[in-house]
Amino acid sequence: MTQPSDPLLPQERAEESIAAIAYYLSTERDPYRRDLLMRDYALRSRNIPKQSLVEFHERVVDSFLPEEYALGYQLPARAPDREVMEVDVIIMAVQRIEIQAAIAALGISRTPSRSYRERDFYHATVPCRAAGRIDEPTELSVALTAVGQALNLHAMDAVGEISEAYRAQVWILVGMAAGLAGKIRKGDVSFPETVWWYEPGRERPDMFEPRPELAYRRSLNRQLFRFDPVSESLSARLARAVAELPDAYRPADLPADFSPNVTVLKDAVATGERLLRDPSRLASLHDSNERIVLGDQESYGFALACRDLNWIIARGIADYGDEEKDDSWQYLATLMAVHSVLEFLEQDYIPPRVDDPSVD
C-alpha cells in the first residue's frame, strides 16, 4: 500500500528560487523589499554552480542600474507548465503541524489531490450560505497547500509559485503566532486587519531608528464586518473541535473550560525575520502601536504578494514568544484558526458569483 506523502512541502529547487527573485528585482523599486530579496538571493545562490549563475547575476546587476544605463533584460514571469486550476479559495500554512490541523478541520484525506513543482495540494469543498442571500447553499472549492519554510520571503515566493497553478478569489494564510501575554491568550484567534513589518529602519550613530512598513487588507473588510466572532454557531463549532481533539495534541495546561476568543479587524500582527524569543520585543512593539498583540514571520511577505488579491490572515496563539515556549499548543491554535476561517466562509462570505452589489 502506498503511504500518504508528508504534507510538509519539500524544499524547492534553488534555480527556481533565484529565477523568481531575479524577476521580482527587475520590477520592485522599494529599497527595503529589494534588500530582503537580495539577502535571499545571496543565500540561495550558494548551492548553485558558478557557471549557472552568470545570467542571473547579470540580471540582478541590471536591476540596480539607472534606467538610462540598464541593458534592459526582458524577464518574463514564469509561465505555468500545466493547466491552471480555478478554485474559490487558497488556504496556505507554513509548518507541517499546521497543515495537519488544517486537513483535520477540513475533514479530508492526507493524500494530496495534486502536486505542482513538488508542492502538494489538498482539495476540498465547503458549503457556503452567502450570508443568507441564497436559498440553497452553494459549494466553495478549496485548495490547501504549504509554504514550506518560515520567513516573509518564502511566503512571498510561495504565492507567486502557487499562482502559476491556481487562480482563486480569496487567499488565506492560517497557522500559529506568538501572542502578547496579558493581551491575548494561548488558543485565541485573530483576524488582523493590519500587518506591521517592523524590521526596516535607519542606522544612526547612537541608535537604530525604526521605519516600519504596513500592509492593509481593504477589499474584504466589508465581508469580514458581517462575521460575528461570538456567534453561537462559531462557539459550538470550536467547542466540538476541542472536545474531539486527539490526546496527542491536547496541551497539558489546557483549561477544562477552555473557550477561545476570536477577534476580527481589531488587531495588528507584527512580522519580521527573527523568531520571537524575548517577550519584551513584542511588548515594545505594542507600546508603539497598541493594536499589535501578536507576531509571526510570514504575514508581511504573504500580504505583499497578495496586494492585488483578496486576502485574509488568521492566526491562533501558540505561545508568548519567550524562552519557555514549546510546541504543545501549535496544533490546537492552528485548528481554532482554521475552524474560524471555515465558519466565515460557510456563513458570511459572499462569492462573486452571487449577485451582491456590496462585494468588491
Domains in the chain (CATH in brackets) are 1-78 (no CATH), 85-347 (3.40.50.1580)
What's the mean pLDDT in 181-201? 90
Instruction: Let me know: does 192 contact 220? Beta carbons within 8 Å.
Output: no
Q: Whole-angstrom Cα distance, residue 302 to residue 341?
A: 17
> Amino acid identity, residue 202?
R
Higher pLDDT, 307 or 112: 112
Phi/psi of residue 237, nearest 5 degrees: -65, -45
- Pair 75, 26: CB distance under 8 Å: yes
Q: How many percent of the chain have pLDDT more than 70?
A: 84
Which is higher by pLDDT, 244 or 20?
A: 244
More confident residue, 137 or 50: 137
